[in-house]
Structure 1
Amino acid sequence: MTLEKFADIYQRAASRKGGEDKLELMLSKPLAKEQLTQVTNAQWLSAFSMKVFQSGISWQVVRNKWPNFEEVFFGFSIEPLLMLSDEQWDNKAADSRIIRHHGKVKSILANAKMLHEVSLQHGSFSNMVSNWPAEDITGLWTFLKKHGNRLGGNTGPYALRQMGADTFILSGDVESYLRNSKIIDGGKETKRSLTAANQAFNQWQQESGRSLTEISQTIAFSIGDNRV
């Protein structure tokens, strides 16, 4: 199988979006490593929790409620959350100020524990993420799925992207492109599919010098019903 050149993908996306200048304005860039290391554990927990709650619910509804979540959960500060009793967690899950979903609320505790444990090893979760091998970003996805709670699928990758970590995302358009190009087949979360997708993105990154984030967005803009 021969990969399509990224330059060709880029030109197709540009033609669909009204030219290179307009396409460039639509592409977001990840944080530099030095900036990423400044992201706090509380910010990570808030991002993970938001994406967990957005799964299966209108994203805007969750965003509108999020100031209430920040208030109820101490700004997602890890230490006080880890000190809560089971009864206190049950009470928070029933709080009318937030979206009441017991399982998703308890995921906040589970992911707080994960962040705490990672920080004991790496100093902070951001240190681990910023030092994760760029050529194995799907390995970080797998870590989140294995050690976090409800962070499988696109939930973990979307949270990483939101916080400025450099990652591609297997959105509907990107997955469709990879399947049509015979890069992946079968389940998109299988080790085989993740490895194949990662290898393809690594090659496009070497060709273009662009971030995984920009490459992923460019692919999405190059296909599907998204013309100007």
Structure 2
Amino acid sequence: MATLEKFSDIFDRAAERKGGAKALGLLMPQTLDADEIGQFTDAQLLSAMSKQVFQSGFVWRVVENKWPAYEEAFFNFEPFKVLMLSPDQIQERATDATLIRHQKKTQSIVDNAYMVQQLAAEHGSFAEFIANWPEDDITGLWQVLKKKGSRLGGNTGPYFLRTVGKDTFLLTNDVQSYLKANKVVDAGFTSQTALRQAQAAFNHWQQESGLSQAQISRIISLGVGDNRV
């Protein structure tokens, strides 16, 4: 691994760009502890996951406005009820004008309900599975979601985890640019090598700073490029 920049320098650069440490602090994402995450129901997590899948590459506001209709159409996202839908019923929902007409994303709700149910059976609940996953291997959790789930690759799985309060960094365009420019990562970001290198860097910065990985990635993004969060 390349010699990592001191996190204090990364922080100072972001603070300067955003109007000081106090102003920067107001932009930090919030995370939940394991007990708090463990309180989510499997239905709540399937809903949040499904919403993130639909928001990927789409106008988030439109998805948000339509989500009450999704809750009704998919039985409040109770996994066992979703899995009782017949192929014809799934097709009806994929072409319903009150929802979003997208066959593959609609099917992903069912596929991910199966994943949620399977992992819940193994770990007591899907929430417990997420809550107890070690944060120093968060990219490993990304890979489980991608492999076992549907349409959860790229940043979709990590954004879902961020939404439900799991501490995770995000490989946004600005964060990727920083990691590449500073030779922290020397492989494509879809590769296992790059994920291991990024994880090692974030683990190092977390030990150095005492901040969450979510906060660290937000600070990196605010200190470079377009200041995207």
Q: What TM-score, normalized by structure 2, do the two folds share?
A: 0.96
Structure 2, gaps ≥5 residues long: none
Structure 1 position 220 matched with structure 2 position 221 = yes
The number of residue pairs the alignment matches comes to: 227
- Helix, strand or coil: the match of 1:26? coil
1:136 is matched with which residue? Answer: 137
Task: Measure, in 1, the Cα distance between the counterparts of 2:10 and 2:218.
Answer: 11
Task: Measure, in 1, the Cα distance between the counterparts of 2:123 and 2:227.
Answer: 41
2:148 is matched with which residue? Answer: 147
Q: 1:186 offset after TM fit, Å?
A: 3.1
Q: 1:51 offset after TM fit, Å?
A: 1.4
Task: Measure, in 2, the Cα distance between the counterparts of 1:66 and 1:183.
Answer: 39
List structure 1 segments (4+ residues) > 3 angstroms apart after TM superposition: none
- Helix, strand or coil: the match of 2:197? helix
Task: Measure, in 1, the Cα distance between the counterparts of 2:175 and 2:161.
Answer: 17
Q: 1:187 offset after TM fit, Å?
A: 1.6
User: Where do residues 71-90 of structure 1 align in structure 2 (5 Å cutoff)?
Assistant: 71-90=72-91
Spell out, residue by residue over 1:59-78, the C-alpha distance to the aligned partner (whole angstroms, 9 max, x if none): 12211211111111111111
Task: Measure, in 2, the Cα distance between the counterparts of 1:84 and 1:189.
Answer: 34
Percent identical among aligned pairs is 52
Q: Output the amino acid matched with 2:178.
A: Y
Spell out, residue by residue over 1:126-168, the C-alpha distance to the aligned partner (whole angstroms, 9 max, x if none): 1111111221100000000000000000000000000100000
**Residues 16 and 222 in structure 1, CA contact (< 8 A), matched pair in contact too:** yes
1:205 is matched with which residue? Answer: 206
Structure 1, gaps ≥5 residues long: none
**Residues 174 and 226 in structure 2, CA contact (< 8 A), matched pair in contact too:** no
Q: Output the amino acid matched with 1:132.
A: W
1:105 is matched with which residue? Answer: 106
Q: What TM-score, normalized by structure 1, do the two folds share?
A: 0.97
Task: Measure, in 1, the Cα distance between the counterparts of 2:54 and 2:29.
Answer: 24
Task: Measure, in 1, the Cα distance between the counterparts of 2:87 and 2:224.
Answer: 48
Task: Measure, in 2, the Cα distance between the counterparts of 1:39 and 1:218.
Answer: 28
Spell out, residue by residue over 1:16-56, the C-alpha distance to the aligned partner (whole angstroms, 9 max, x if none): 00000110011022101110101111111111111111122
2:194 is matched with which residue? Answer: 193
Q: 1:185 offset after TM fit, Å?
A: 2.8
Spell out, residue by residue over 1:84-143, the C-alpha distance to the aligned partner (whole angstroms, 9 max, x if none): 111111111121110011111000000000000000000111111111122110000000
